[in-house]
Amino acid sequence: MKKTKIYVAGHTGMVGSAITLLLKNKDIHLITKTRAELELTSQGAVQEFFKIEKPDQVYLAAGKVGGIYANTKYPAEFIYENLMIETNIIHAAFLNEVKKLLFLGSSSIYPKFVNQPISEDSLLDGPLEPTNEPYAIAKIAGIKICESYNHQYGQSHNLDYRSVMITNIYGPGDNYHEENSHVVAGLIGRFHQAKIKKLPKISIWGSGLVKREFIYVDDVARASIYVMNLNQDKYKNNAKYKYSHINVGVGTDVSIKELAFMLKEIVGYAGEIEFDKNKPDGIARKFLNSNRINNLGWRSEITLKEGLKKTYEAFLKLGKY
């Protein structure tokens, strides 16, 4: 019997590597390519790859990601690279008869001022947070590309392209750069350096009062594979046209101040923390309504404290910092 060929785009990234690790335990033919082997922003290269490999399924986890600082400093790269990658992959998948594709996006797609917890039908219901608008627009486009191909070619070509929008991800494989990283990885790197250098205090951007929901990367991988393999009728019954994406969250959130003190304890930093209120906070709260995926039978398994400990352990094993 022929094995299912599955291509994971972005397999070296945090989420892509976690998906790849889980898929390796299954009886499939797994396809991965590094950036040196396949430049995803090149339409010609992507189409040639799909023409040769002919995958049956695609996990679209590739893209340019970063925190507030990176989004603010590099908006052109964030919108261009993400738009090119998702457009090239989804169109090449269609041209080469890929029936099943999962596009992974972010809770950044939702408006700045929106009812909490945020439901899927809040999409395009108001202006976006300015600090990550280019990235958010690219991810919204990814949802709409999937919806458009399903709408036009779903019946004639039996397409089933799905999207999951994920809350703030953390875990092994993240970028620990002090400025260009996500909040958890950035704080781990900073607390660790402050501990090693015995700094008396560290300063954190913003008031510390904003609240965020955090999901461990292994939970994201499990959710992605779960949604990809859901029965098509079951998925369609829970995903409306124009709001076909599914939120993936954990059901609880914490303030950045709470997160900082939790990490301070886990890392073992003895100094003080100050919050720089002159720096931007971003959205006051970003908490997803995950009822849809919960009703479909999936729930997160890893608590924040457990996940933060695992993340710091993985950070220490890198031996780079």
Among 147, 161, 164, 168, smallest CA distance to 65 is for 168
Q: CA 174, CA 14: separation in Å to the nearest integer?
A: 5
Core vs surface per residue 128-142: b (16+ CB within 10 A) or e: bbebbbbbbbbbbbb
Among 45, 97, 90, 24, smallest CA distance to 63 is for 90
Q: Residue type for 264, please?
A: K
Q: Hey, which residues does 247 pair with through a beta bridge?
A: 165
Can you read off the two tokens belonging to residue 99?
A: 């029936």
**Sole residue written with tokens 């954190």:** 204
Alpha-carbon distances, residue 220 vs 214, 247, 271 (angstroms): 11, 11, 33
Among 18, 14, 26, 15, smallest CA distance to 6 is for 26
Q: What is the DSSP string of 40-102?
A: TT-HHHHHHHHHHH--SEEEE-------HHHHHH-HHHHHHHHHHHHHHHHHHHHHTT--EEE
Q: Residue type for 228, please?
A: M
- The answer, yes or no, to whether the previous bond of 117 is cis (omega within 30 of 0) is yes
Active site residues: 135
Q: CA 250, CA 230: separation in Å to the nearest integer?
A: 19
Asked whether the beta carbons of 208 and 260 are under 8 A apart, the reply is yes
